[in-house]
Structure 1
Amino acid sequence: MEILSKCHRTCNNMDKFSSLPDHIVHKITSYLSLKDISRLSVVSRRCRQVCISSPFLVFDLIPYSNNQPKRVRLINYIDRLLFLRNGKNIEWCYISWCMQSSLVNEEEYRILSWLHNAVACNAKMLNLQLNLRRESYFALPTSLLSSTSLTALEVNLHNGAILKIPSSSTAITSLKYLTLNSLRIDKSFGDWVLSCCKSLMVLSLVKIDGTKSINITSSSLKALMVVCPRNLFNLQVCAETLESMILHWTFSNPDNRVLQLSAPKLGTFVWNGKISEVQLEANFMCLNFAGILVTPSSSTDQNLVHLLRALRKVRDLHISYNCLQESDCGRSMLCSESENIPFMHNLRFVRIELALRRWNVLELIKYLLKNTKNLQKMTIICDPLSFSDVRREISGYEKASSEAEVEFYSL
């Protein structure tokens, strides 16, 4: 009898999992695959309840794309899991799916029903990774766009399929973070953001196609990121609360592009792309940080000066080596034109990267050292072959600020 009692106590001590609080167990199970979750749910009543009530749901069926029997079993398991939740709140739901052409209608219906159930469970964050054919489309359900709990939504259609947003969708007042990736939209997207996304704070558009013009108007947006848009010619942004913008705009077609930016509170602006082909209409009155990483062309210097003139109060300036190209004529143009750059007295920190010992880059560095009276620190990063020459030429150069510190680093 005593031996049985000791064995019972030993077994109880070994079952640490059952004694853990729910929030810790849920965190552990969030790292398990869907297959492992389905197995865990049949271990015990406690495990079953943990799997059903977990606020972190990961439905990744990509590994089973070529295994139809297992795929069907897992789909049915997801249906039962969401049904048994009985409205328990969802913090985060991740759905990764590769549509099979033979079952596309049935599987799309399943996904839409899962999204509807997620909304019914007050889901806060949704991440949809759907691998669709480019000629197909995916329509966001109206129930999702009328959610009062959803704060973050990410949609990635991978192959550039069309994302359809119902024209009759009501305002989604809780949505604060929206990311769209590798999909096509139309011109009405901007109207939807303006009329329905009243609380949107962060918008990320990555590899967006389908429209030559994007117009984003918002009274709540604080951060905007536009990365590698396809066939975009006109980008208009009007956001009175915008504080940060990252633009990665590269293209091979030489046709003119236009960036119209009205953001009076913009404090951080990073531009990576071909500046020579973009017509800039902007006023950076409150800008504190500017990062310029621009693809070189024959007219890069002139366009860079035009951009620098718009930076009136910038205190921290980063310039990549890609944006300054050696030219035979007008080598000192950049520095002579810089005399009209209005932010010189505000500039505190400068970071310049150069891959080669280019004459006009060195002249710009010298000019900034000589004329920036409040400069506190300049960081120069160059390639190993030019490192010694650049350091020797710059180290003893005249500085307007006696407190200015110059640091050199090798790429």
Structure 2
Amino acid sequence: METCRASKSSEKVPRVSLEFRVDRLSSLPDEITHRILSLLPFGDLSRFGSLSKRCRELHLSTPRFRLDLSKVDISTCDKWSRFANSVDRFLDHRGESRILHFGIRFDVREHIFGNETPCICEGVGRRFISWIENALRCKVEILDIDISRIHLENGVGDITIESSSLKSFSISSNSWTVCRLKIIGHKLEDVRIDWRSEWCTTVSIFASDVKNLEWDGITVNHQLGTLERAELSLANIIRRDLSPDVKAVDFLTSVHRVKALTLNHNTIKALFKKGIPPLENVFDFSMKIGNFSIELVLALVPILRAMPNLTILDVKSSTPPRCLLNECSGLTMEYWRSSKLPFLSQLKEVTVDLNRHFYGSNQIEFIRFILEDAQSLRKMVIIYPLRLGKGHLKKLNESEKISNAHVVYRRFK
């Protein structure tokens, strides 16, 4: 009897897969997608826009983008023209779609790419101005401009920023880039200017609602409202017709109602030459200094006397003009007590950053003076370098505090 066995088919039945491709980017909310796209260089953003209709919509509607020419090969006029044309097309196609944040960084120094000389013709400046004007038409709220590394024979000309939507503006410029800068913004709250031009100093700001101002370089014309915070860092002036002390006093007089003020080494010395305007509203004062030389302290004391309501003091360390040991020593606690600083009884918080290139005893004596005479002091932070001698630390630890202040020692890393 033969047994019949059903033979199993050797053929494999195709497996049906339920998996399918998903466009995960399209499934994200537009806000998150735009945030991701804002991290892309302009070239990658343009390539993304060519992938599909949906990608093109996202590409043209992104509210935050930055043109960084340091990452673009513009080593010849032809390459520059192709890049600039692509930017023009992008801005033209997106129309007046709102821009929240627009940044532009020009870097067309020679020999960035290979040995070719980059295009520095007048068309570069005109394109630059047109891109800024486009952002202003699109109601930009944050505008960042860095043209500190552009070297054009005739610069980029005059720049006028007039906007009813702009809230934050920053610009960094070198000596030859811009002739005149005019800023008009009724909603402008934050302004940062790094202005190094020694030949073109016509900068005008008309903004009544500015709360925070950071000015690094050379002071110029301005009409500002009641500032909450201001930082003034004068650069070294070369031109004979520019007087840094007059500019500094004029600037400080116009913002005398500021509540939080930061001054650098050069500004403190410049103010000393012309007299200090009253600063009754300042309760938070920071100084960026390189050393505690006798020359600097003599300039600093009148500024401190002009702040009767000071409660927060921050001594920041900056790159120091080197001084000899005898130039940074000799001012004892008795000197500081004789200075009769009006805010001493109400001072509450102090931070002192001892410079890593620590010299002399003046700064140590100043800290001891605060510890022993500031009766309302709540907290002091002392940041010290490795080279600070144990004798100085011991002297600080043995100071007889008049208050119950919490003293924190932090070693500079």
Partner SS for 2:139: coil
Q: 2:230 aligns with which of 221, 224, 230?
A: 224
Alignment of structure 1 residues 345-384 onto 2, 5 Å: 345-354=345-354, 358-384=360-386
TM-score (norm 1): 0.75
Match of 1:122 in 2: 139
Are 1:268 and 2:260 counterparts?
A: yes
Partner residue of 1:399 out of 398, 401, 406: 401
The superposition leaves residues 189-210 of structure 1 with CA deviations (integer Å, 9 ceiling, x where unpaired) of 3xx32xx4333333333334xx
Question: Which of these residues, 155, 163, 167, is aligned with residue 151 of structure 1?
Answer: 167
How do 1:308-319 and structure 2 match up within 5 A?
Answer: 308-319=304-315
User: Which consecutive residues of structure 1, in runs of 5 or more, have no partner in the other structure?
Assistant: 238-248, 250-256
Q: Give the direction of change, closer, same or farther, for the CA distance of 1:111–1:222 in structure 2 (3 Å limit).
A: same
Residue 371 of structure 1 deviates from its aligned partner by 2.7
Rounded to whole Å, the distance in 1 between the matches of 2:328 and 2:52 is: 79
Distance change (3 Å), C-alpha of 1:50 and 1:146:
same
Aligned to 2:194: 181
User: 1:129·1:158 contact (CA, 8 Å) conserved in 2?
Assistant: no
Offset of residue 111 of structure 1: 2.7
Q: Which residue matches 1:23? A: 31
Structure 1 pair 288–152 and aligned structure 2 pair: CA distance change class (3 A):
closer
Q: Partner of 1:289 in structure 2? A: 284
Question: Which structure dedicates a bigger proportion of its chain to helix?
Answer: 1
Q: What aligned pairs does 1:3-14 form with structure 2 within 5 A after superposition?
A: 6=17, 10-11=20-21, 13=22
| 1:82 partnered with 2:82 | no
Q: 1:338 to 1:310 in 2, by over 3 A?
A: farther
Superposed structure 1 runs of 4+ greater than 6 Å apart: 2-5, 321-325
Q: What's the secondary structure of 1:281's corresponding residue?
A: coil
Cα pair distance change 1:154/1:313, threshold 3 Å: closer
Question: 1:101 & 1:359 partners in 2: Cα distance?
Answer: 52
Output one character per residue of 1:355-388: Cα deviation in whole Å (capped at 9) or x when no partner. Answer: 6584444444444333332222333343435453
Tell whether the 8 Å contact from 1:173 to 1:199 is kept in structure 2 after alignment. Answer: yes
SS at match of 1:181: strand
- C-alpha separation between the residues in 1 aligned to 2:97 and 2:244? 44
Q: Are 1:94 and 2:103 an aligned pair?
A: yes
Alpha-carbon distance, 1:158 to partner: 4.0
Distance in 2 of aligned mates of 1:354 and 1:263: 29
Tell me the secondary structure at the aligned position of residue 261 of structure 1.
Answer: helix
Cα distance in 2 between the residues matched to 1:337 and 1:183:
36
Taking the aligned partners of 2:175 and 2:15, their CA distance within structure 1 comes to 62
Note the alpha carbon deviations across 1:247-286, whole angstroms, 9 max, x for none.
xx9xxxxxxx987535554332333215455324122323
Deviation at 1:66, TM superposition (A): 1.3
Give the direction of change, closer, same or farther, for the CA distance of 1:102–1:372 in structure 2 (3 Å limit). Answer: closer
Query: Structure 2 counterpart of 1:269, which letter?
Result: L
- Maintained 8 Å contact 1:326/1:360: no
Q: State the alpha-carbon separation in 1 of the partners of residues 288 and 386 from structure 2.
A: 20
Tell me by how many angstroms 1:44 deviates: 1.1
Matched, 1:409 2:410: yes
Give aligned pairs, total: 375
Secondary structure (helix, strand or coil) at the match of 1:16 reads coil
Report which of the two structures shows the higher radius of gyration computed on alpha carbons. 2
Aligned with 1:61 (options 69, 76, 79)? 69
Quote the Cα distance in structure 1 between the aligned partners of 2:106 and 2:335: 57
Aligned AA (2:276): E
Counterpart contact for 2:229–2:260, Cα < 8 Å? no
The answer on 1:47 being equivalent to 2:55 is: yes
- Identity among equivalent positions (%) equals 21
One-letter identity of the residue aligned with 2:98: N
Paired with 1:134 and 1:207, the residues of 2 have a C-alpha distance of 21
Give 2:125's aligned residue.
108
What CA distance in whole angstroms lies between the structure 1 residues aligned with 2:141 and 2:337?
49
Please state whether the residue corresponding to 2:371 is helix, strand or coil.
helix
Q: TM-score, normalised by structure 2?
A: 0.75
Secondary structure, aligned partner of 1:156: strand
Distance, in Å, in 2 between the alignment partners of 1:215 and 1:311 is 25
Q: Name the CA distance, whole Å, in 2 between partners of 1:261 and 1:368.
A: 28
Structural RMSD (CA): 3.7
How far apart, CA to CA, are the structure 2 residues paired with 1:138 and 1:67? 19
Q: Secondary structure at the match of 1:122?
A: coil
1:338 match? 337
Query: What CA deviation, in whole Å up to 9, does each residue of 1:62-115 have, x standing for no partner?
Result: 321215554433322222212211321111222233468756223333333333
Does the 8 Å contact 2:231/2:261 carry over to 1?
no
AA of the residue aligned to 1:284: L
User: Do 2:230 and 2:261's aligned partners in 1 also have CA atoms closer than 8 Å?
Assistant: no
Letter in 2 for 1:43: L
User: How far apart, CA to CA, are the structure 1 residues paired with 2:294 and 2:301?
Assistant: 14
The whole-number CA distance in structure 1 between the counterparts of 2:392 and 2:296 is 22
Change (3 A) 1:388 1:106: closer
